[in-house]
Structure 1
Amino acid sequence: MTQAIDRMQLDNPQEWDLSDLYQNFSDPNFSQDLESLQQQASEFRDAHRGKVKDLSADQLAECFKTLEAIAEKSGYLYAFPSLIFSADTRNTEAKQFLDKVMEALTGIENQLLFFDLELQKLDAAKFETLQKASTLATYQHYLNRIAKYRPHTLSEEVEQTRNQDSLTGRQAFIQLRSVHLGEQEYEPVTTPDGRIVSTESELSALLYHPDAEIRTAGYQSVRKVMKQHNSLYAYILNSVAQDHKIENQMRGYESTLQKQLLADEVSEPVFRAIMQGTGDRFDLFQRYYTLKGQALGQKIRTADLYAPWGTEATPAVTYKTGVETLLSALDQFDPNYARRAEEFFVKNWVDAKVRPGKRGGAFCSYTYGKHSYLLMSYTDDYNSLFTLAHEMGHGLHFAWIDDRQTYFNSNPPMVLAEIASTFNELLLLDYLLKQAKNDKALTKSLITRQLEDQLNLLFRQSTISRLELAVHERAAQSSFDQSFVNQEWMKLYQTLCGDAVEVLPEHQYDWARIGHIYFKPFYCYQYTASNIVSLACYQKYLEVGKDFIPGYLELLAAGGSLDQVTALRQYVGVDIEDPATIRGALTYVEKLLDQLQASL
């Protein structure tokens, strides 16, 4: 399986090849596709505006196919400048083309807004008839989603205005933060081996360094920039939250939370159960870091959360070794699954190179009808390897969706969207533990890393959503500044950490690094929810073995064609609405803690 990988030059992290989309910004196909898309949207509007109420089920199915084709090509046009900009936020040409494309696509979206709006205005009997039509069976979930938004839909003119305003309103503020962060330069840190570290990704990687002074220097360098621009990032967050408040009032949502839960297909009782269930078990977080502090002979600080347990640094993992290790782990699960992953590296769909100006964090960008592109900054460590496994999980999920679903069913609900990524990490962990069975230091490092990953997903991510609850509740009443966000974040973190972890003063600025609180409110609790479900899936896989795989792959392939509660029950027998599922995840962490404590 790895012959193609062996032939590749993977000694250094690779850069992606976007030629599956366009060759460059001068590619004639780029401008031609944009022009033809605008014409196609205009023709569709002329043919159907004001006439949706008269469409038969067969005619509606044909309209859906046309809209899907437009959306697919729109995805190519957006992805190309967006991906180039993410890889280098200092690329002014990419920024200009991204702005141009976003403006054009907003115009196209406004041309087509009438269709869903007219569908939503159909009388109940007519709409129900369409929902039951066999020719529209593929689009049943899509129609059900349209029905749920009926109480919150505005007139076509207002919807168009909202879309246009987004370019210079909420979306512009979100983009401003990305541009501003990309322009920042960080105080360099020199490591004991003489290496000078100055990018955000490399400085963050120093949090795993065995030397406390190096960890502190890396931690402070990044947060010094967050402190310097504290008021700006709070102003942006306040502007985004205020825009959500205005939209809530216009659409009749009770809150930003209600609006987002509707989009996520998660009921509020499930959300509250997750927040309550994790909030009741902060003792697990505190117990772990108390043990770690005892082992290191010091009280753990927020700069030390990811410090290695031993005195020796965990061995480096080169990019080539990391790729080969991940593919071997996936191959033991399912050879075809691994083969699909290998394609990402062979065809350069991954950008893992570390460079200034690159967007922080990691992501998988799915382009329907093509494939996914993965972005990360690989820093030759196990954390990078697990990040690669995580994003590859997304990429493989979308590969299965692309095989089976139409465009309208290609976007899985958010809890489902994170399952494959976490599942991949669990596959990698088990593989590495088997390989390291005679290496006690590495085994311990992997177990503690898994514990820290679980504590992050279950407790840190849900704590971020607790901050968002406070932010959006405050925004509903009045505006806020950096003092409010800093104080709320510190208060929440001190509650989480208790006496086990010293929350350093610089941590009050840390919230500004969390992109999701700007991009999509209440995204982070879904990491918690999805992790809970992923653990349930993985435990079933360990119980039944290879017989689990067909149902799991069917779950991935379902995409957004089913309600996620139904999909989980139908394909893998997991019930997210059952409190026992939440308890099962917390019990898994508790057992890992028991295992760790017994080995000390």
Structure 2
Amino acid sequence: MVQSASIQLENPQEWDLSDLYQSFDDPRLMQDLEALQQTAANFRDNYRGKVKDLSAEQVLDCLQQLEAISQQAGFLYAFPALIFAADTRNAEAKQMQDKVMEAVTGIENQLLFFDLELKSLDDQKFAELESASVLQPYQHYLYNIAKFRPYKLSEEVEQTRNQDSLTGRQAFINLRSLHLGEQEYDPVTTPDGKTCSTEAELSALLFHPDRDVRYEAYQSVRKVMQQHNSLYAYILNTVAQDHKLENQMRGYESTLQKQLLADEVSEPVFRAIMDGTKSRFDLWQRYYTLKGKALGQKIRTCDVYAPWGNDPVPPLSYQQGVDTLLAALSQFDVNYARRAEEFFLKNWVDAKVRPGKRGGAFCWYAHGKHSYLLLSYTEDYNSLFTLAHEMGHGLHFAWIGDRQSYFNSNPPMVLAEIASTFNELLLLDYLLKQAEDNPQLKQALITRQLEDQLNLLFRQSTVSRLELAIHDRVTQGSFDQSFVNEQWQSLYQDLCGEAVEVLPEHQVDWARIGHIYFKPFYCYQYTASNIVSLACYQKYREVGKDFIPGYMELLAAGGSLDQVKALRQYVDVDLENPATIAAALKYVEGLLDQLQATL
């Protein structure tokens, strides 16, 4: 077991970003930015218009130069962006983020020609590069370049698209984040006298045993969404319209086709996931019917996370949470757990709850250094599982960083979510063993796992169903908040059936889902990745420690391989086999059977 006694964490920690830069006054910040701009200009002078004449060895050298530029740009952008995420009210951070983004966009525009000239090579020349032995480490990178060859634009138009993003699509996405960070929420006071007023604290109250507290907390957050319903819908419409314009310019059939191409997921697999989950809404409805009977009341949308037992589960301090997670990971693999311990020892985690902090949680990877984890730890098991999830991302990138260069460091999204979900399953198994003599905690953990699975399989795919409606509607013209509200309410009602009362306020809940703004059709990938993670975990439980080497190879592969092939090669999981989807749904049905047997 990992010895974590050296980690003293009385309160959730704030991260230390000094391995990027010391402060906004750090002279290296502007020096590095100026040097990078000059490096990019030199690269452009040396190679623009000449890519067609380069040998494979020269192309290799160019790719390595571009990777070094991209890595340094990543450090420069991460610093203000991470400070802003931790405090969206920090005006200096926002200004620096904008300044660096503008500069990095200029650098990207300087270098666009290389990618475009590669895409413009004749088939024979491109095939020679793909087969060159010195370029074998970049084979998948070249494959992805070839895949997008039909959709390229001229350099001038591509540069304009990049520049427009500063005041166009990305600006609207940033506006939503900035606006949300400035919101004040009606405080809610619990029966024991604790007052909660941040979005993270109010969301944590949805797990509170008191139904009135849950409703008040739910209402407090949705009240803000309702007040700004038209603004968030306007932003979403603008973002969706911009995707439509890009599709028309590049020749994509739809936003869905564009995203599936980038995600390395075929449309038949996407449809199979959507159809497979929709055909088993009965699992969601069966669970919440059971929960309603156990609680003696019909479940409302504010009650879906309500605890089953009458007695609340004791709070879990940050120190206890960290120790528990490290112990769970250690039982899987000691080296794996030691890599996780490093995040806490070196303050790569920001878990402190404070006003203005970005909602939700994320892992930000800076290739060449490490990942930074952000969450708001609210002393409960939900926060612990969030920590396990983001740590899964951080450990995934740690293995990638050991083996992959920059262009191979970004795994496709289905692979990108595997380690995070796998970590949660490791934590669950560990906690269940620890709770053998605590029936209340054991039931809480089983039901939490069920609710997590139901969320990943059904709620996340329902978000993508909303996006199908949004991006289909945008091809016909603009939409307003009424359209999105009605679509979301209707889709959620289909999911819930008679088992859950969908409160009127739930119609504005879509505005809280950042991914529908940041990256369309992101959420179905949570579903797909969960399906694959369950398949991986079932194999781990079947074969034990012999599973670990292949799993670590899968993590280390990053974006260097096609994800369907990588899954087959390293862990013998077939994403394209409908039986893999059916097995995940069967797993959830088995959990439901276990739960029902205890009632």
Q: Which residue does the alignment assign to 1:138?
A: 137
Distance, in Å, in 1 between the alignment partners of 2:144 and 2:275 is: 28
In structure 2, what is the equivalent of residue 260 of structure 1?
259
Identify the residue that residue 591 of structure 1 maps to in structure 2. Answer: 590
> Quick check: 1:246 aligned with 2:245?
yes
Judge conservation of contact 2:340–2:395 (CA < 8 Å) in 1: yes
Question: In structure 2, how many angstroms separate the alpha carbons of the residues matched to 1:394 and 1:324?
Answer: 19
Residue identity matched to 2:567:
L
Hey, what does 1:473 align to over in structure 2? 472
One-letter amino acid matched to 2:7: M
1:220 corresponding residue in structure 2: 219
**Mapped partners of 2:268, 2:387: distance in 1:** 33
Per the alignment, residue 286 of structure 2 pairs with 287
Provide the secondary structure at the position in 2 that maps to 1:7. Answer: coil
Equivalent residue, structure 2, for 1:18: 17
Q: Which amino acid aligns with 1:436?
A: A
Correspondences of 1:95-174 after superposition (within 5 Å): 95-174=94-173
Q: Which runs of 5+ in 2 are unaligned?
A: none
Q: Map Cα deviations across residues 75-114 of structure 1 (whole Å, 9 max, x no partner).
A: 0001000000000000000000000000000000000000
Q: Give the whole-Å Cα distance in 2 for the aligned partners of 1:63 and 1:502.
A: 58
| Structure 1 alignment gaps of length 5 or more | none
Distance (Å, rounded) in 2 between the aligned partners of 1:515 and 1:369: 28
Q: Specify the alignment match of 1:210 in structure 2.
A: 209
> For residue 132 of structure 1, what is the amino acid of its counterpart?
S
8 Å contact kept, 2:2–2:330: no
State the alpha-carbon separation in 1 of the partners of residues 42 and 423 from structure 2.
44
Shift of the alpha carbon at 1:74?
Answer: 0.3
* Cross-structure match for 1:543: 542
Query: Which residue in the other structure is 2:75 paired with?
Result: 76
Q: CA deviation at 1:178?
A: 0.2
**How many angstroms apart in 1 are the aligned matches of 2:54 and 2:229?**
54
Q: State the match for 2:442 in structure 1.
A: 443
- Give 1:476 deviation, angstroms: 1.0
Report Cα offsets for 1:318-373 as digits up to 9, x if no partner: 00000000000000000000000000000000000000000000000000000000
Question: Is 1:65 matched with 2:64?
Answer: yes
Alignment of 1:557 with 2:533, yes or no, is: no
- Encode CA deviations 1:563-590: one digit per residue, 9 max, x unaligned: 0000000000000000000000000000
The one-letter code matched in structure 1 to 2:492 is Y
Matches within 5 A, 1:340-489: 340-489=339-488
RMSD between superposed Cα atoms in Å? 0.6
Which SS does the other structure have where 1:551 is aligned? Answer: helix
CA contact (8 A) 2:272 2:578 kept: yes
Contact 2:2 2:337 in 1 (8 A): no
1:498 paired residue number: 497
Q: Deviations over 1:209-247 (max 9, x none)?
A: 000000001000000000000000000000000000000
Quote the Cα distance in structure 2 between the aligned partners of 1:276 and 1:20. Answer: 46
Separation in 1, partners of 2:268, 2:35: 46
Shift of 1:6: 2.5
Matches within 5 A, 1:572-591: 572-591=571-590
**What is the distance in 1 between the residues matched to 2:242 and 2:49?**
31
- 2-side partners of 1:377 and 1:384: how far apart? 7
TM-score scaled by structure 1? 0.99
343-352 vs 308-317, greater mean Cα deviation: 308-317
| Aligned partner of residue 415 in structure 1, secondary structure | helix
Partner residue of 2:236? 237
Instruction: Give the Cα separation in 2 of the matches to 1:10 and 1:558.
Output: 33
2:182 is the alignment partner of 1:188 = no
1:426-483 deviation per Cα after TM superposition (whole angstroms, max 9, x unaligned): 0000000000011111111100000000000000000000000000000111100000
Distance 1:30 1:100 in 2: 12
1:309: how far off?
0.4
| SS across alignment from 1:172 | helix
The residue matched to 1:575 in structure 2 has which SS? coil
Kindly provide the CA deviation profile for residues 116-157 of structure 1, in whole angstroms up to 9, marking residues without a partner as x: 100000000010010000000010000000000000000000
Q: Paired residue for 1:34?
A: 33
SS in 1 for 2:89: coil
Instruction: Please name the residue that 1:567 is paired with.
Output: 566
Deviation string 1:396-438 (CA, Å, 9 cap, x unpaired) is 0000000000100000000000000000000000000000011
Other-structure match for 2:88: 89
Runs of 4+ in structure 1 off by over 6 angstroms are none
The DSSP-based 3-state class of the residue aligned with 1:518 is helix
Q: Secondary structure at 1:6's aligned position in 2?
A: coil
The corresponding residue for 1:43 is: 42
What is the CA-CA distance between 1:7 and the residue it aligns to? 3.2
Matches of 2:443 and 2:95, distance apart in 1: 49
User: Aligned partners of 1:234 and 1:6: how far apart in 2?
Assistant: 49
CA–CA distance in structure 2, aligned partners of residues 350 and 99 of structure 1: 24
Q: CA deviation at 1:2?
A: 5.0
What is the TM-score of this pair, normalised by structure 2? Answer: 1.00
